[in-house]
Amino acid sequence: MCGIVGYIGSEECLPILINGLKKLEYRGYDSSGIALASSNDIEIIKSKGNLKNLENELNSKKYDSNMGIGHTRWATHGIPSVLNAHPHVCCENNIALVHNGIIENYQELKKELKSKGHKFCSETDTEVLVHLVEENIKETTSFREAVEKSLSKVKGSYAITVMNKNEPETLIAARKDSPLVIGSAKDGNFVASDIPAILEKTRNISILDDNEIAILKANSVDFYSNGKKVNKKPIEVTWDLEAAEKGGYEDFMLKEIYEQPKAVKETLRAYLNGKKIDLSFLGLKKVDLKEIDRIFVLACGTSYHAAWVGKLIIEQWANLPVEIDISSEFRYRFPVLSENTLILAVTQSGETADTLAGVKEALNRGQKTLAITNVLGSTITREANGVLLTQAGPEIGVAATKTFTTQISVLYLLALELAKVRGTLSDAEIQKKIEDILTLPAKIEEALSTAEAIEKLAGEYYKKPDFLFLGRGFGLPVALEGALKLKEISYIHAEGCAAGEMKHGPIALIDENCPIVAVANKSKTYAKVVSNIEEVKARGADVIAVISENEKLLKNYLKKYITVPLIDEALSPITTIIPLQLFAYYMAKAKGLNVDQPRNLAKSVTVE
């Protein structure tokens, strides 16, 4: 992985490729490269590190080309280097290819190709693909058939775009288990791994499905599946590219933190008709909520913490047992699933490889599946029986912020719908909870007002090497998410744990260099959390607490605290996470780090 962009048409393609790759920088990368079709050749330009390095390479020469492909690479096979960067070319230098995904049988294929005289230049699995196409094109006059035959030998996942010097008016794109979209405009046609890469040029987008191939020419696009031509209806992307720009903020992450009131409001508006919940129009008709006897949730990272909140709220409001599992673990154990167990997949991108694999496993077992995602047209929206879309808009920063709060917002509404069909809450109780939920955007605004105080706190703590985050009940997934945010973007070791587990090990970590961050808002477990704070303070710990605005006890007891608006305990994760997101952000800024593209991380984890 990570980013693909391609163009064929009447315009100069180099600026299109570079601009498209810049729009994909948020996905993370360690090297980049492009291939340009010239009059009699394919020119390859690659560079390690930032895209600016690639631009510097390109500035040394003038290029004139109307067709090309580009790639930003995140190393999975082979170290970050110019040799391992994409595009890769075949022995004769007449075919160039870029690829996202993992070729699981590449060693076997490489051995076979070497025996036929092919010479490899890189350590990557991707290079096998371009040599396969070169080998198979010897046996057919059809570029498309050569690509199809090559892909039929591949085990694993791929999104590829290929160009052939001998067919200078054709680009070929194909996918399996890795996202790829096709865009069409009057001046040409485009391919990309994510819509923002080409949104400046077109809003007419076709989503390539698994095992499909697209043949792009300057004035046409044809789609094939299993060797047969198929028709695809494009979708019109309605969100504005400006939504993916910084809009005056210093970083995308900060912008996205401050977009949360709007994102939550838009998400709630999508599913509330007045004060009535309507979850039917995005596929829930296929999932009879009345029949469900248990929910099994699959998620990774931040989505897993949102799922944890969902578990607590569904069990409390709908009296329905919920189990959550890390997606990468689900497939490799033997979960006990009944006919009426609903599999709920939570994924920001809709392309998370482990979550998709878990959903496919569940579908193979005959389970009903429901997905919560932020991306219309993503793979999971086509795989799952039902889909609930969050309305967060594009999230460019690698560290998830507004998708976390919008995922929880959807889970609140799902919990209320389940409570309604199961009769566990009265109509009056449901209406009261909806009224409370509708106050969330304003409550988030209040929580954001603490930013200046949090920035000052970060200035005091950014040199600390370790942090311990504590929480109970609804505060536990918030503590886990707060710790994740801090480690993701500040590179400070942070651990989240249940406050009640302190005496079972974590208390041994406490010293003057390991501050405690405690989620201590008003809740059923408030007195217990206060007791835990007293425990760690007695051992010399420096404590920062997230407390409710009307709190008096901890204000008098602690020197460092952050207030959040008072709200029903079940809704508190959406407000208590805000100061922890800001704390992580300002800690990273104090260290002079890139908060939008932290090292070793990618926005969409599209390989297992």
pLDDT tens-digit readout, 316-370: 999 999 999 999 998 888 888 999 999 999 999 898 889 999 999 999 999 999 9
Q: Answer yes or no: is pLDDT of 587 > 90.
A: yes
pLDDT number for residue 26:
67
Mean pLDDT for 139-143 is 87
The CATH superfamily assigned to 2-238 is: Aminohydrolase, N-terminal nucleophile (Ntn) domain (3.60.20.10)
Q: Answer yes or no: is pLDDT of 382 > 80.
A: yes
| Most confident of the following: 174-188, 233-247, 272-286, 506-520 | 174-188
- 165 belongs to the catalytic site: no
Rg (CA), the chain: 25
pLDDT in tens, 425-446: 999 999 999 999 999 999 999 9
Given the residues 2, 13, 90, 497, select the one marked as catalytic: 2
CATH, range 448-590: 3.40.50.10490
Given the residues 23, 48, 589, 603, select the one marked as catalytic: 603
Domain ranges of the chain: 2-238, 243-438, 448-590
Q: How far from 306 is each of 40, 373, 477, 583, CA to CA, in Å?
A: 54, 12, 7, 19
pLDDT > 70: what percent of the chain? 95
pLDDT band at 402; cut points 50, 70, 90: very high
Buried b (16+ CB within 10 A) or exposed e, 370-391: bbbbbbbbbbbbebbbbbbbbb
Query: Tokens for 230?
Result: 């198929």
pLDDT number for residue 608:
58
Mean pLDDT for 99-120 is 93
Please report, in angstroms and rounded to a whole number, the separation of the first and last CA atoms in the chain: 11
Mean pLDDT for 90-112 is 93
Mean pLDDT for 127-137 is 96
Scanning 105-158, the segments in alpha helix (DSSP H) are 106-115, 126-137, 143-152
Q: How far apart are CA 221 and CA 192, in angstroms?
A: 14
- 91 belongs to the catalytic site: no
Shared fold status for 243-438 and 448-590 = yes
pLDDT number for residue 553:
80
pLDDT number for residue 24:
87
Find the range with the poorest average confidence among 103-107, 244-248, 604-608: 604-608
**Backbone phi, psi, residue 160, to 5°:** -130, 155
CATH topology of domain 243-438: Rossmann fold (3.40.50)
pLDDT in tens, 466-508: 999 999 999 999 999 999 999 999 999 999 999 888 888 888 8
pLDDT band at 261; cut points 50, 70, 90: very high
pLDDT number for residue 180:
94
Q: Answer yes or no: is pLDDT of 21 > 70.
A: yes
